[in-house]
Amino acid sequence: MRIAIVTDAAQTQINGVVNTLRATTAGLRSNGHEVLLLSPDDCQTFACPTYPEIRLAYKPYARVAASLKAFAPDCIHISTEGPMGLAARRFCLRQGIGFTTAYHTRFPEYLSARSMLPKAVTYRWLRWFHGPSKAVMVPTQHVMKELEQRGFRHLVLWGRGVDTERFKPVDEDHACIVRPLYLYVGRIAVEKNIESFLRVDLPGTKWVIGDGPLREELQQRYPEVQFLGAKAHHELTSYYNCADVMVFPSHTDTFGLVMVEAMACGVPVAAYPVPGPVDVVAHGRSGILDHDLTSACLMALSLDRREVRRHALEYSWEAATLQFQHHLHLIQGAKVRLKKILTSQSRPVSGV
């Protein structure tokens, strides 16, 4: 199939949405599909309000429409709800084309944490955005239940995976580290609740990997914490393997890929028992979930790293990609083109 994926997350960004789409695109191509990934990378952009590091596409409709017409996709998936997603949604509705969407990010909680908009207002807008979607893909059962209660329709599960060949236990030189080492990986922003980790009194060392609007302020307030900046995805394996515990203090993530990546390296997770961690971490096996983050961090130290790794092996990008394929909506009229493709190939195309 010819699959178009539209996203507002530029490929230069370092976050879970980019990594998920990168792995999914690779999986789709490996399964024999042709994929067009439309992102703001070639567009004129402007700074995202309150988050200037993130650039959003400025008036991208003409480019999105032209690209989709030229590609003539069999399926269109709109991954995000920003200007690129809005442009693709507008194009599909104008052309009478069915499409699917995804719910990656808890924007209502993010905006509420920044005192910008009440959650009810943002959820109303998101219901409007996803309303025409043939399938709204969500990462966990908890997120699905929450959105159902808020009136969303056509919800389906699209899980996540981990590259267990890249993220695996590796011997590192730990001689200079004061143990135990507690590691945070993610954006340094209010919605990530990172300060809950920074202010807890723990023995040993704390490392923070990532960047964001609060970095400078928190770096000054917590001089004993080592802020190492953002790292490329392929660099994270070394940092995970240095850690004794991966700390994930967020209350607002829909999944939390960094938890699975750390677990794949044998590093147990300490987190709150909230949606995201409760779906990813096996309490007492691959991590500790506790409303007392200090207790979770200390208890996680005693977990068997081999067992942590075994739990991470249950996550597969191959399985997640097949889920994604299954939920795609075949555009009306594309079946004729697809039938011709199928008859000319030696093996069937999956996910129809």
pLDDT (tens digit per residue) in 273-312: 999 999 999 999 999 999 999 999 999 999 999 999 999 9
Domain at 2-161+316-344: CATH architecture: 3-Layer(aba) Sandwich (3.40)
Domains 2-161+316-344 and 181-312 fall in the same CATH topology: yes
Element (H, E) at 24: helix 16-30
Please provide the CATH number assigned to the domain covering 181-312. 3.40.50.2000
233-271 tens-digit pLDDT: 999 999 999 999 999 999 999 999 999 999 999 999 999
Give the pLDDT score at 126: 97
Cβ proximity of 226 and 205 under 8 Å: yes
Task: Tell me the average pLDDT of the chain.
Answer: 92
Least confident of 28-37, 111-120, 320-329: 111-120
- Token couple for 107: 């924007």
- Token couple for 148: 């159902």
CA distance to 58, 130, 161, 247, per residue, from 258 (Å)? 30, 27, 11, 10
Give the pLDDT score at 144: 97
Give the pLDDT score at 241: 96
B/e letters for 68-94, b = 16+ CB within 10 Å, e = fewer, are beebebbbbbbbbbbbbbbbbbebbee
Q: What's the pTM?
A: 0.90
Ordered by start, the domain boundaries in the chain are 2-161+316-344, 181-312
21-65 tens-digit pLDDT: 999 999 999 999 999 999 999 889 998 877 777 889 999 999 999
Cis peptide before 180 (omega within 30 of 0): yes
199-220 tens-digit pLDDT: 999 999 999 999 999 999 999 9
Spatial distance between the Cα atoms of 258 and 246, rounded to a whole number of angstroms:
9
Q: Is 228's pLDDT higher than 60?
A: yes
88-110 tens-digit pLDDT: 999 999 999 999 999 998 888 87
- Return the axis-axis angle of helices 61-71 and 83-95, rounded to nearest 10°: 50
78-88 tens-digit pLDDT: 999 999 999 99
Give the pLDDT score at 348: 36
Q: Is 340's pLDDT higher than 70?
A: no
Q: How confident is the model at residue 334 (pLDDT cuts 50, 70, 90)?
A: low
DSSP assignment, residue 299? H
186-196 tens-digit pLDDT: 999 999 999 99
